[in-house]
Amino acid sequence: MNQVYDPLHHKYRPQRFDQLVGQETIATILSNAILYNRIAPAYLFSGPHGTGKTSSARILARSLNCLVHDKATTIPCGTCELCISIALGNALDVIEIDAASNTGVDNIRSVIEKSRFYPVQARWKVYVIDECHMLSTSAFNALLKTLEEPPPRVIFILATTTPYRIPPTIISRCQRFDFHCISLSIIRDHLRFIAQSEKIDITSQALQLVSQTAQGSLRDAESLLDQLSLLPSPIGINAVSNLLGIVPEVEMLDFVSSLVTLKPLVILETCRSLLDRGREAISLLTGVTAILRDMIILTVAPERPELTSISDESWSRLIALTNETSLQRLLKWQNQLKSSEVDLRQSAQPRLRLEVILLSLLTEVDYQPSHTTKLPYGLKQKTKNSKAVNIDPILVTESPVSSFKQGVSEIINNAQELSRLWNEILATFDLPSTRLLLAQQAHLVQVDGSKVTIKVSENWIATLRSRLPLLENAIQNVLNTPKELVLISVNSKLKSQSIPQYSVPFVINDVSVPNISLVHNNSNQNTGFLALSINDIISSGSPIKFKGSSNLRPKQDEELKSLANFFNGEIILDPDEEIS
Ligand SMILES: [Zn+2]
C-alpha cells in the first residue's frame, strides 16, 4: 500500500546518452563507441559530484547489455529485466564497488579473480569502481595489469571526484572523460522541465536561485527542488532564500550599491537588518564577493552575460552599478576580501568582524592615492636607500607643507585622516616600546605620492633613526607601497603645544613601570618642576607634577622618559614656577 517515494534525482536520472544533461561531448563519444563497437577496456570518469559520472556508467552498462537488442545499442529499452536490474544496482554482471569502503588490496584481488568468469546473464561484465581515488597504492598496483589486459567482455569504469589522486600509471591505461560543472542555464531549463512535469508551481527567479546554489551539480539542484516542492504554492524566491539562509540577489545588489557609492551608514544598517533576519555573516560576505566578481567579468567581457551568475532581471542593474566604479577598485576589493572569508569563519564575533571587513573597504578608498600603484621603478629604488632628512625646525613651523607641494597631485594633510593613518601604522608594531615612543614623540604631518613626512621631537630623532627600517616597513605595509621617509626635527617645547595626542592600542601588561627615584636638589639654583602631563590614560585634565631637578643624571633622565612614555605623557621643564 505504502509506495516508496522516488526522489526527483532518481526519477529523472537519464536512461540513455541522449538524455544525459549538460555533457553532450561525452555522450556523443560514448554513443559512437557503442555504435562502432569500439569499447575500451577501462574508462576513467572524473569531475565534480552530481555531474553525471555514475549515471553515464550505468547508461553504458545498459547500452551494452539491453536484452531487447541482440547487440550493443544507444537506445536501451529501460524495461527489460537487465535494464531494470542495472538501474536498481542489483544486476549480477554489473558490479558497483564503493572504493571508499573497499580500499584494501584484498578487495581488488577478489574483484580481479571474479572478473575472469564470463558474465552470467549479460553480454558484458561491467565493474564500476566509485570514488576510486580511495583505493590504496597496493590496490591500484594490483589493478594495473588487469586494466591493461582485461579478460574478454569485461570493462572497468573508474569514477572519481579528485583525479589528481589517481596514479598516472592508472590514468594512462584508461580512456579519460572529464565531466565538467553543468552550466547555470542548462540546470535551470532542466529544473523547469521537471517542475512542469511534476506540476510544481515555482517562480523563474526561484528556479534561477536554486540553479545558482547548486554550483554546477544537477543532482544538488534536483534534491533542492524536491525539498522546495513540499512548500505551499507558489514557491517564490523568498522561500528559497529562507530555506538556504542566503541573501536574495536584489538585496545583495542594494548592498553592493551602498558599497560602490561609499555609504558606510547604509552598509551598517543593511548588515544589521540582514543578520537580524537570521542570515549568516559568511553568506553575506560570499554574496558581496560573488557580485563583485560578476562586476569584474562585466567590465572585461560586457557581451558575455552567461559568464556571470546574475539573473537576466538584474543584468541592467549590474551594468549601472559597474559603471559607477572602476575595475581597479573592484579588483582591489576582491583582493582585500580574499582572506577575509577564513577570518570571518574563525571569528568568535562574526557580526563585528563582518562590519569591520566591509567598512575597511571604504577606508582604503578614502586615503589611498590612486596613483600610488603606478610608482615608477626608479622611485622604489630610491626609497630603498632613503635616509632621514633633518630640516630646520624654524623653517618647518613657518611653512610645514610648502616644500612638498610642487609636483604632487594628491596630498593627505587633513589632521583627522593623518591621525587615523598614523594609528594604523603604529598598530603594526609588535614592540610596545617602539609603538609608544612613536605615538608620543612623533606624528605624521603629510603623505603624498612619493613621500611620508613625520615630525619628531628633537630629543628622540636619534633614537628613531636607529629604528628607521622598522618604521619604513610599517609604512609600506599600511600604504601598500614604499615611500621616501622624511623626518623633521622639532623643538620639544614647541612640540608640546602643537602635536596632537594619539590613542595607541597597547597592552599594559607588556610594559613594566620603570622604578625611579626622584631627587629634589635645593642647593641648585636652576631647580624647577618636572611636570608629567598625562593626556590619555588619566582623564582628570590636571597635570601630575613631580618635584625634581632640571639637570638630572643621564640614567634618571632615561627613566623619566620611560615613565613619561608609559603614561603617554611628556616631560616639561618649567624653571619659572615657584616651589610650593
Ligand atoms: Zn533493455
Domain ranges of the chain: 8-178, 184-244, 249-367, 376-498, 514-574
Q: Which of 75, 87, 86, 160 shows the shortest CA–CA distance to 125?
A: 86
Give CA–CA dist 85/106, Å, rounded. 27
Q: Which of 492, 416, 425 shows the shortest CA–CA distance to 452?
A: 425
3-class DSSP state of 300: helix
Ligand 1 centroid to 66 CA: how many Å?
4
Sheet of 94-98: strand order equals: 94-98, 125-130, 154-160, 42-46, 175-178
CATH numeric code, 184-244: 1.10.8.60
Ligand 1 centroid to 91 CA: how many Å?
12
Q: Using the CB atoms, write b or e for 102-116: b if 16+ within 10 Å.
A: bbebebbeebbeebe
Q: Phi and psi for 349 in degrees, rounded to 5?
A: -125, 75
Which residue has 589493478 as its cell numbers?
143
Ligand 1 centroid to 73 CA: how many Å?
10
Ligand 1 centroid to 71 CA: how many Å?
11
Ligand 1 centroid to 132 CA: how many Å?
28
What does the angle CA 467 – CA 472 – CA 478 come to, to the nearest 5 degrees?
Answer: 130
Bridge partners of 442, per DSSP, are 456
CATH 1.20.272.10 fits 249-367, yes or no: yes
What's the gap between Cα 357 and its chain centre?
11
Ligand 1 centroid to 58 CA: how many Å?
12
CA-based Rg of the chain, rounded to a whole angstrom?
Answer: 36
Element (H, E) at 140: helix 137-148
Ligand 1 centroid to 64 CA: how many Å?
10
Question: What pLDDT score was predicted for residue 410?
Answer: 59
Ligand 1 centroid to 86 CA: how many Å?
10
Ligand 1 centroid to 111 CA: how many Å?
26
Residue by residue, pLDDT tens for the chain (580 residues) are 467 888 888 889 999 999 999 999 999 999 999 999 999 999 999 999 999 999 999 999 999 999 999 889 999 998 999 999 998 888 899 999 998 888 888 888 888 888 888 888 889 999 999 999 999 999 999 899 888 888 888 999 999 999 999 999 999 999 999 999 998 889 999 999 999 999 999 998 889 889 988 889 999 999 999 999 999 888 988 888 888 888 888 888 998 999 888 888 888 998 888 888 888 888 889 889 989 999 999 998 888 887 787 877 788 889 999 998 889 889 989 888 887 888 888 888 888 889 888 888 887 554 444 343 333 333 333 333 334 434 333 333 333 333 333 333 457 777 778 888 888 888 777 776 677 777 777 888 888 777 788 888 777 777 777 777 778 878 877 777 777 777 887 775 444 444 444 433 333 333 333 333 333 334 343 333 333 333 333 333 333 333 344 444 555 555 555 544 544 444 444 444 444 3
Ligand 1 centroid to 153 CA: how many Å?
18
CATH numeric code, 376-498: 3.30.300.180
Ligand 1 centroid to 52 CA: how many Å?
20
Q: Which triple of cell numbers denotes residue 277?
A: 533576519
Ligand 1 centroid to 68 CA: how many Å?
5
Q: Which of 202, 238, 248, 252 shows the shortest CA–CA distance to 222?
A: 202
Q: Which triple of cell numbers denotes residue 26?
A: 561525452
Ligand 1 centroid to 536 CA: how many Å?
85
What's the gap between Cα 201 and its chain centre?
36
Ligand 1 centroid to 85 CA: how many Å?
10
Q: Which of 442, 437, 436 shows the shortest CA–CA distance to 454?
A: 442
Ligand 1 centroid to 79 CA: how many Å?
5
Ligand 1 centroid to 39 CA: how many Å?
19
Ligand 1 centroid to 250 CA: how many Å?
48
Q: Which CATH architecture has domain 8-178?
A: 3-Layer(aba) Sandwich (3.40)
Ligand 1 centroid to 80 CA: how many Å?
4
Ligand 1 centroid to 190 CA: how many Å?
25
Ligand 1 centroid to 81 CA: how many Å?
7
Q: Three-state SS string across 558-572, please?
A: HHHHHHHHHCCCEEE
Question: What pLDDT score was predicted for residue 565?
Answer: 52
Ligand 1 centroid to 76 CA: how many Å?
5
Ligand 1 centroid to 155 CA: how many Å?
19
Q: Counting Cβ atoms within 10 Å, is residue 77 exposed (0-12), middle (13-18) or buried (19+)?
A: middle
Report whether 57 contacts 87 (CB < 8 A). Answer: no
Ligand 1 centroid to 29 CA: how many Å?
21
Ligand 1 centroid to 221 CA: how many Å?
28
Ligand 1 centroid to 12 CA: how many Å?
17
Ligand 1 centroid to 130 CA: how many Å?
23
Q: Which of 69, 55, 71 shows the shortest CA–CA distance to 16?
A: 55
Altogether, the residues listed in the chain come to a count of 580
